Structure 1
Amino acid sequence: MGNARLLLTLVVCLVLGGGLTAAVLGASRAGGPHAGSAAAGPAVSDYVDMAEVPPGSAPRVLPPSGPDASAGSVVVECGRNEEGHYNEDNLVVSPGLVAGAHHTHAYVGNLSTDAMSTDASLDAAATSCRGGDRSTYYWPVLRRPDRPGPRPHEGSAGHGNTGEIVAEASVRVEFRGSPVSKVVPMPRFLRGMTGDAVAFTAATDADVRARWGCSGAPDRATTRYPRCQAGERVTRTLVFPSCWNGLETASAGHRSHLLFPSGGGVCPQGTFPVPELRVSLAYEVAPGVPLALDSFPEQRHSPRTDHAMFVNAMTEEQMAGVVDCLNSGRACRT
């Protein structure tokens, strides 16, 4: 009888211990490395005074090395969303699903982009880009949670994404070449994504790409919301992968067809260098103003979740012009 009780006690302890272990592991996986309180966020720790960020922390642009480098640049002038093009869709990640993003995106370029867009509809639409580029470029909006958002698109997202949308003071859409080789044209309707919309609960920061900063300290960058000096702009820089597998314009998970080069600028084996897209955003934000990036509720408006998407709808002739400018080392503007 004593042995039976001892065995029963042991079994109960193992079951309870296993349940506790599973609960701890589950919470760890759900919370990721940045898990915090149950508050909606952002947290105080999501902000940093840029004076405390070391100089030289901004990602460096590799200088051309070797005769095959494509050292040019192309700025595509698409405005700063003066048209007020916003929605809660994500054509790259959830095509056909209206409000599938669960947060609001801001756009430049193609003026028709929404969840129901197709290659054909993008090709036929108007654009905000001065040179006629019908590509679509978009990212989650930045808000002031201390102010109500009275306009329709400021309250339509829900899921804790509330407050006045801070309009972009400037938007720079730029393509750059490779520091080590010539680039080849992007295929029409190539889909691209950068950043990690679920970085707060992800197991690692491997896909965190966006960098925040202040216009007065261009050599400093952070993955936190920056506290800038009076008169400076808050900046966001989103760099896209630029190594295409030569086979697909999209892929499951939205990442495997378009990869980032190595730290030395070399593309992974089996991929080809295409023009590197950089979207640079700037905002007029007074010192001390709270900020909140639109996000999924469980991501708590973490600045690490910043991300952006694009669909290349340039004509073959337009893309050929971009490639020629990059490969010949010129600075061009369209």
Structure 2
Amino acid sequence: MLTDYWVITQLLIQVSTLLIGLGAVYYGVRIIAGWDEVAVSEKQLQLERQTYLVSSVVRFALLFQLFSLILFMVTVNIHIPPLIKGAMCAQGVLSVNEYGYPLLYLKVLAVFLYVLFLSMNYLDDREPTYPLTPLKYWLIPPIAIILLVELLLMYLFFAGITPDIITTCCSVAFSDWGDDTTVWTLSEEWIDYLLWVFGGLYITILLLNARKGIAPYWTLLIGVGYVVIAILLLKLHFVKYIYGLPSHLCLYDIFLSQYHYVGFGLFLSYYILLSLLIFKNCLYLKEGTLRYSYSRLKTRIDYFIYILTSLIILIPMLYWILWEGKL
């Protein structure tokens, strides 16, 4: 599979991003060691020029990593399945070897570290004294480590895919209840309980976001729980209404065209909601060191949080209502 042009593209993106990350680590260590925001020396001026260049390069590299996650999903969910016997979607492709799911989980979770850096970089670039520069550069070494691990997992995963492999997909996974299965369900009683929790968290986020003076990290913590419950219910309950099949609980088909790519819309909503909450916490925690007024930006963020939080619950509920809760 290493000769496939989709795979080669992703490996090149990963290698390029890793090289940028390693270069950023080198310059980041120098910047952290010599940074003095109150100094007016030539050395400080050179460091400020370096940090502007390095931050810009890292910003674009991390944006490419966000694009890489989408490209990876399209590759394992659409491009590769026709090439592997027994695979119909990413469920079968990721199960080809032991590196598939760790790679997916790492790519999914790493996005939030990238978002944290991009949020701090955005705030730092708008300030005349760059007050967040030393702090944001402490994030680059762990980012570089993640990029290296991700490259290794990606290489091992794609290298382990050969045309003679026969894998199992939904038709086998949903009837196989051995210890190795990755598919599981909950009783209707637990589903009802989770639906009430889902609705309760939705109302809680709206109320917390509307109240002034409440630390936004509470909204972030509840927002994480809200998104986790949303994905869990999507996987175990709502997808069957999207497909119109009571026995089909695969989470990957919602990214296909016949279901209007609704999966991309939902997961993009999850990511943007959590990213806005992370950004709002960065504003809150570093507000004392920032000179620029962000009151108008905060208001816009609050509006987007309302919209995205509502979309996350309304979109799957509309499918449920369309089928009147029965199939």
Superposition TM-score, scaled by structure 2 size: 0.22
More strand by share: 1
- Structure having greater relative contact order (Cα 8 Å, sep ≥ 6): 1
